[in-house]
Amino acid sequence: MFLLPFRLYAQQQNYVFQHLTSKDGLSSDYIQSIYQDSKGFYWIGTTSGLQKFDGYTFSRPLTVGNDLLPSAYVTETKDGILWISTENSLYRYNRTDESFMPIIPEGNKPKMNLHVIEDTAGNIWLLNDQVLYKYNALSEKLITWMKLPAFDASMTSGAITFNKEENVIWIQNGMILYKISLLEKKIISEEKMPQQAACLWKDGDYLWISFWTQHLCRWNTITGKKDWFLIPVEIKGASAISYAVASCFARDKKGKLWIGTIDGGALVF
C-alpha cells in the first residue's frame, strides 16, 4: 500500500513533452489540426496556414496560387493521396511536384470545412451543410449523393464520421443525429440530441459525441445506452475559460483513448 502512490507517480513520468511554438517556426500558435501521413511527415493546420513538419523543421505556410490554406484538415486515403479541406475548398495534393488540385463540388458551394472520410470501398465523402457529397474519380468532382433535411441556419453545419463495419455514415446537423446506410442510400434512423455536436467519432460499438459545452456522450449503438461525461478544466485566475470542448479522438497501441480539446488540453480516458 505504501508503494502504490510511488508507482502511480512513476507511471505519470512516462510522458515527455517538447513544446514547439511560433519561435520554432510555426506560423501561428493556434493549431486546429495535426496529421501524420504514411511517409512520417506531420501536417499542422493553423489559423495562419498549413505547414509540413519533418521532425526537425517546419515548412513555410503552403499556398495555392496566392491563397494561403488556413484552418486546414489533412486526410490520407488508402491509395496514398492526401486530401486537404479548408473552410471554403477541397484539394488533392500531389507529392511529386507538391501541387494542389482543387476539387469542385456541384454548384460550387462554399463551407467545405469538415473532415474528408473514406469508406471500405475507397469512396470519398464530404459533408457541406445539408448536402452529403461523394467523390467521382472519373469527373474529379464531388457529386451530390444525398440532401439532408433542412435545419436552423444559425446552428453549426454539422459533424460526420464513418462506421466501416456497418457501411454506415453518422451525421449530426443542428440538433438531429442521422444514421445513414450507404447500401440502402437512405436515413435509417434519426435522434434529437440536447445540443449541437462539435465532433463525432466511431469507436467499435460506441459513438462518441462531443458538444459545444463541457458535455461528452458515449453512446452504445448496439444497446442504446448513453453515458455522459463532463470534461474537467482547471480554472486558473479570473481570465480562465471554465469549459472545454472535445475536438478529436484517437486510440494508441495500448488501447488508451486520447481526447484533444479546445481550451482543456489533452486528456486520457
- Sequence-ordered list of residues with C-beta below 8 angstroms from that of 144, at least 6 positions apart, any chain: 105, 106, 107, 131, 132, 133
Domain-embedded: residue 20: yes
Report the mean per-residue pLDDT for the chain: 82
Give the integer Cα–Cα distance in Å for 49 and 60.
9
Q: Are strands 42-46 and 159-163 parallel, antiparallel or unpaired?
A: unpaired
Structural domain span for residue 61: 3-197
pLDDT > 90? residue 267: no
Give the residue-averaged pLDDT of 19-26. 89
Domain-embedded: residue 46: yes
pLDDT digit string, tens, across residues 127-154: 776 788 888 777 778 888 988 888 776 7
In this structure, what CATH number is given to the domain that contains residue 146?
2.130.10.10
- Sequence-ordered list of residues with C-beta below 8 angstroms from that of 81, at least 6 positions apart, any chain: 92, 93
Domain-embedded: residue 72: yes
pLDDT digit string, tens, across residues 56-102: 999 999 888 777 888 788 988 888 889 988 877 888 888 888 888 88
Give the integer Cα–Cα distance in Å for 77 and 116.
9
pLDDT digit string, tens, across residues 33-50: 888 999 999 999 888 889
pLDDT at residue 227, rounded to an integer: 96
pLDDT digit string, tens, across residues 164-222: 777 888 988 888 999 999 889 999 999 999 988 888 999 989 999 999 888 999 999 99
Cβ atoms of 117 and 160 within 8 Å: the answer is yes
Domain-embedded: residue 241: no
pLDDT > 50? residue 248: yes
Counted residue by residue, the chain has a size of 269
pLDDT at residue 178, rounded to an integer: 92
Tell me how many domains the chain contains: 1
Domain-embedded: residue 86: yes
